[in-house]
């Protein structure tokens, strides 16, 4: 869903990361307007943000703006969300006290949309009791704080204080406008492809990129769920802000990690493309072709069905499967739902979905079928999460 994002830049070297943030938000389809403090313009030129956002940039050095000269009010009114990144210790203190003596601080004071801040500062400034008091005040006032990360700081010291990466901020921002339909729910998700070793360096895997599983993890997190992601081979980036991410490369490892969590979860969404078979006689050492003998014989044995096992628990989570088929998509998916004894399955055509950015899902449940519009996996994931929330609420 495309939104109008107001990005406030306060004075700090992390302002350079906000250039990338603007690019990522634009790539997600959002409209971005940038407002800078005078100090921020010392670090990055307003022209840079104007070129990246495609919108005029207002700053303290550019008072009033066009029209009625009320840019400090108008900019905020057009926005769905206001993010200040980087947020210096100074602007955090101003916002905590309601001081409005630079443009981003005025916009914060005059806002009527959700506000988030991404602090960036020296580790001692971050830990300073006054700053911690101000951060607690922001949280108490309903402002979202994207905490800084630990690492090397521009001042040469190291510790907490680095602004969250642009990719993480772009990933987390949609949480601010997403309805919290899964608040308080624990959601367990498998994603990606499994890898069944043949020897220490080779194995059997598949083309699943993990994109849909990652999109679902993001959608459930945005809807307020506590998300645990158990993943195998992933080309997609792991989403930010999850409760836990657990690497489980083989079907056996994925089975173990899922079964350790399934009973305590409210929802289990099995998106991983799990190998049907594993190698029974996996070699302890790398197989060699020299010697001129017959090629090695790979013996297969069936893997456990993780989804069916979770669904067979005495008090199972609400189980959701994915059926990726290359033909008879709906027919096979309906049969799979009944066989695995799960309340909901998402059917999609493997030739469109696997490894790609887009998908077309039909949700098949006990109560009927819903054809979701074709399009990006993020949008499809949001629709699946909303359907799960609706079905859970109706139970
Ligand atoms: O049986 P099939 O592999 O076609 O079913 C696909 C669904 O079952 C997916 O949701 C997949 O994550 C899950 N599955 C599983 N464990 C397996 C095989 C499939 O959880 N061993």
Question: For a pocket test of ligand 1, which of 231, 234, 276, 307 has the largest count of ligand atoms closer than 8 A to its C-beta?
Answer: 307
Tokens for 280, please give them: 């029974």
Distance CA 390, CA 378 (A): 18
Is-contact 266 392, C-beta < 8 A? Answer: yes
Please check if 27 is assigned to a binding site.
Answer: no
Q: Give the pLDDT band (50/70/90) at residue 372.
A: very high
Over 70: is that where the pLDDT of 66 sits?
A: no
Between the CA of 273 and the centroid of ligand 1 the distance, in Å, is: 7
Over 60: is that where the pLDDT of 64 sits?
A: no
pTM (2 d.p.): 0.93
The pLDDT value recorded for residue 333 is 97
Tokens for 178, please give them: 């997403």
Minimum CA distance residue for ligand 1 atom 17: 305
The pLDDT value recorded for residue 63 is 60
Examine the residue annotation and report whether 155 is marked as an active-site residue of this protein. Answer: yes
Chain-centre distance for alpha carbon 249: 21
Between the CA of 207 and the centroid of ligand 1 the distance, in Å, is: 15
**pLDDT per residue over 81-136, tens digit each?**
999 999 999 999 999 999 999 999 999 999 999 999 999 999 999 999 999 999 99
Distance CA 362, CA 346 (A): 6
Domain ranges (residues) in the chain: 4-176, 186-394
Over 80: is that where the pLDDT of 299 sits?
A: yes
Q: Give the pLDDT band (50/70/90) at residue 65.
A: low
Ligand 1 atom at shortest distance from the alpha carbon of 321: 10
Fold of the CATH domain 4-176: Rossmann fold (3.40.50)
User: Greater confidence, 204 or 288?
Assistant: 204
* Domains 4-176 and 186-394 in one fold: yes
The pLDDT value recorded for residue 62 is 59
Residues 97, 113, 155, 220: which is the catalytic one? 155
Q: Which residues line ligand 1 (CB under 6 A)?
A: 190, 251, 270-272, 274, 303, 305-307, 321-323, 336
- Tell me if residue 9 falls in helix, strand or coil: strand
**pLDDT per residue over 333-360, tens digit each?**
999 999 999 999 999 988 777 767 889 9
Report the 10 Å Cβ neighbour count for 109.
16
- Count CA atoms closer than 13 A to 207's CA, side-chain side: 8
**What value does the mean pLDDT of the chain take?**
94
Distance CA 49, CA 23 (A): 9
Ligand 1 atom at shortest distance from the alpha carbon of 307: 20
Distance CA 179, CA 272 (A): 26
Minimum CA distance residue for ligand 1 atom 9: 322
**pLDDT per residue over 14-61, tens digit each?**
999 999 999 999 999 999 999 999 999 999 999 999 999 999 999 986
The pLDDT value recorded for residue 44 is 98
Tell which CATH classification among 3.30.540.10, 3.90.1150.10, 1.10.10.60, 3.40.50.10300 matches the domain 186-394: 3.40.50.10300
The pLDDT value recorded for residue 277 is 98
Say whether the peptide bond before residue 147 is cis (omega within 30 degrees of 0).
no
């Amino acid at each position: 869903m495309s939104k109008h994002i107001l990005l406030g830049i306060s004075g700090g070297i992390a302002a350079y990361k906000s250039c990338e943030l603007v690019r990522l938000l634009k790539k997600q389809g959002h409209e971005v307007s940038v407002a800078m403090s005078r100090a921020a313009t010392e670090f990055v030129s307003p022209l840079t943000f104007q070129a990246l956002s495609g919108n005029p940039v207002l700053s303290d050095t550019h008072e009033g703006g066009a029209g009625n000269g009320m840019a400090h009010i108008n900019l905020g009114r057009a926005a769905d969300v206001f993010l200040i990144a980087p947020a210096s210790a100074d602007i955090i203190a101003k916002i905590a006290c309601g001081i409005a003596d630079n443009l981003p601080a005025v916009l914060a004071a005059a806002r009527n949309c959700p506000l988030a801040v991404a602090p960036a500062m020296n580790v001692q400034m971050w830990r300073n009791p006054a700053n911690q008091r101000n951060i607690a005040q922001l949280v108490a006032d309903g402002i979202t704080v994207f905490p800084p990360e630990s690492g090397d700081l521009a001042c040469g010291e190291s510790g907490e204080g680095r602004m969250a990466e642009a990719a993480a901020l772009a990933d987390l921002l949609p949480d601010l406008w997403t309805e919290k339909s899964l608040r308080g729910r624990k959601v367990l998700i498998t994603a990606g492809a499994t890898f069944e070793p043949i020897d220490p360096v080779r194995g059997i895997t598949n083309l699943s990129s993990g994109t849909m599983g990652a999109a679902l993890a993001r959608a459930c997190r945005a809807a307020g769920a506590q998300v645990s992601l158990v993943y195998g081979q992933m080309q997609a980036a792991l989403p930010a802000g999850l409760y836990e991410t657990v690497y489980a490369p083989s079907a056996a490892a994925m089975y173990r990690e899922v079964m350790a969590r399934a009973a305590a979860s409210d929802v289990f969404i099995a998106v991983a493309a799990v190998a049907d078979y594993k190698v029974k006689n996996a070699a302890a050492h790398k197989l060699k072709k020299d010697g001129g003998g017959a090629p090695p014989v790979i013996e297969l044995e069936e893997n456990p069905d993780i989804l069916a096992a979770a669904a067979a628990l005495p008090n199972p989570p609400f189980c959701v499967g994915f059926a990726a088929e290359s033909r008879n998509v709906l027919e096979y998916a309906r049969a799979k739902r009944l066989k695995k004894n799960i309340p909901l399955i998402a059917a999609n055509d493997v030739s469109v979905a696997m490894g790609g950015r887009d998908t077309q899902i039909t949700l098949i449940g006990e109560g009927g079928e819903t054809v979701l519009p074709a399009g990006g996996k993020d949008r499809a994931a949001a629709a699946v999460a909303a359907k799960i929330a609706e079905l859970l609420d109706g139970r």
